[in-house]
A and B are shown apart, each in its own frame.
Chain A
Amino acid sequence: MMTSRRFPSRELGVALIAALAVLLACAMDAAAHGVTEGDKGYIQEITGVMILPFVYLGAKHMVTGYDHILFLFGVIFFLYRLKDIGVYVTLFAVGHSLTLLAGVLMNISVSAYLIDAIIGFSIVYKALDNLGAYRRWFGFQPSTRAATLIFGLFHGFGLATKILDYEMSLSGLVPNLLAFNLGVELGQLIALGLILIAMGFWRRTRGFMRHAFGANVLLMAGGFIFVGYQMTGYFLF
């Protein structure tokens, strides 16, 4: 009888939490010291239409946006057919694109902490959904498509808040913003590809269904950590 596991899923879970902690630490911005560095520094130095640079910045923003990635991971966790994956990813993309564009162009400035806390909650929601919690507790399954679209809207507001913080020059704003949005979708596809390859290996292991439970619990924990971190920031600053 085969007892060996091809991929150690418990260690995977620990690694996920550790990676989350490291990412959280890196996410805390270094205090500005006169010279604004990195992406924000670059954006403040340029004016006019610069399509490819903004496509790159959008892609980078999404690939390093672990809160968005974790939600996406939760959404596709139990999606196996490419068609299903395509539908849900499109719903998420439509949701966040709408509010990304509306949020920046209408200068809707919500507290970044609050909106990021809601994004953290979206991760918790999706993890619970994967665990079948709503059917267990309420006897009914809320529409996963609606949830993906609605949370997508909130993710987009989070993106818009970060973009407003970049202080993009008004000159060339609309084309640059559309380029950024395109970049976000490209970044999403890149992240999705990597996740699907990893999930492909994982799903083939014998222990997957057992470890899937633990993995979603860890995902939920990650979501709660994110909520707590953002809400603390909200009340402190």
Chain B
Amino acid sequence: MYNAPKSNELPSTAKLLKSTLLAAVLAAVVLATVVLPAEYGIDPTGAGNLLGLTKMGEIKVSLAKEAAQQKAAAAAVTKPAVAATAQPRPQAETPAAKPAGASAPAMRVDQMVLTLRPNEGKEVKLAMSKGEQVSYFWWTDSGPANFDVHSDSVKHRIDYRSYEKGRKERSEGVLEAEFDGKHGWFWRNRTSRTMTITLEVKGQYSEIRQEV
């Protein structure tokens, strides 16, 4: 076969065992000073903090916790929805008691003011039907906020669809619902000072709520 070995070029067993031991020791050191801080924020030696990696681990852990909370919340929400659809539906032939026009929301105007401590995240969602539009304007009072404009829908089983992510001090535009569901903003304050975010919305929506 290609490039056959000559056994005198191979490292001796003693050398290999020493190498293995050295590798194990190095691995323990790297684990304690680099990997555990960077993945879990666990910093037994304090070196992770010096290297700036403990903060990475802390952020990852808090993101994982929030994701788990969202999953639990979503699971709790879908259960009653499933129970509701299990009930017998009214006959489709009979005209709906509520004329379609009455359920179409009129133009609404709202303002919400949120206070975010450093590293805190908050979310506001509007319940909108497909095609409805809302014009919005939000701004922070100090520094940029990380934001994520996104939607979800229990009815269409959409967990998360993001339209825009970024980091700004202010943003305005028109939000149009691509489907029936909840549409809105998630902000997170990654600055070192508490910030206030003001949101103004005007348009067609049936409900405005702070979700997180």
Contacts and interface: CB of A to CB of B under 8 A. Distances in A.
Contact of A130 (B1, B51, B70): B1
A169 B167 CA distance: 9
Contact of B52 (A32, A50, A200): A50
Interface string A70-106: 0000000011110000000000000000000000000
Interface stretch (B15-23, B98-106, B193-201): B15-23
Nearest to B66: A35
Interface stretch (A38-46, A115-123, A145-153): A38-46
Contacts of A201: 16
B152 interface: yes
Nearest to B70: A34
A53 B1 contact: no
Interface residues of B, number: 40
A181 B168 CA distance: 29
A212 interface: yes
Contacts of B167: 47, 169
Contacts of A212: 1
B11 interface: yes
A155 B18 CA distance: 33
A35 B11 contact: no
A164 interface: no
Interface in A169-219: 169, 193-194, 197, 200-201, 203-204, 208-209, 212-213
Contacts of A107: none
B74 to A, nearest CB: 7
Interface in B64-114: 64, 66-67, 70-71, 74
B20 A197 contact: yes
A224 interface: no
With most chain A CB atoms within 10 A of its CB, the pick from B2, B74, B150 is B2
Interface residues of A, number: 43
Contacts of A44: 146, 165
Contacts of B117: none
Contact of A34 (B19, B51, B67, B190): B67
Contact of B1 (A39, A79, A209): A209
A233 interface: no
B59 A41 contact: yes
B138 interface: no
Interface string A17-40: 000000000000001111111110
A221 interface: no
Given A33-B74, A37-B63, A37-B64, A213 B1 contact: yes
B192 interface: no
B70 A37 contact: no
B126 to A, nearest CB: 16
B159 A42 contact: no
Contacts of B152: 34
B60 interface: yes
A36 B64 CA distance: 8
B4 A209 contact: yes
Given A33-B159, A204-B10, A209-B1, A56 B34 contact: yes
Given A34-B150, A34-B160, A194 B23 contact: yes
Contacts of A135: 2
Name the 9 nearest CB pairs between A and B, nearest first.
A78-B3, A35-B67, A41-B63, A34-B160, A200-B16, A35-B66, A37-B63, A80-B9, A34-B70
6 contacts: A34-B67, A34-B152, A52-B52, A78-B3, A167-B165, A212-B1
Given A33-B67, A46-B59, A132-B1, 16 more contacts: A31-B159, A32-B159, A33-B74, A33-B159, A33-B160, A34-B150, A34-B152, A35-B63, A37-B64, A38-B63, A45-B190, A53-B56, A80-B5, A141-B2, A212-B1, A213-B1
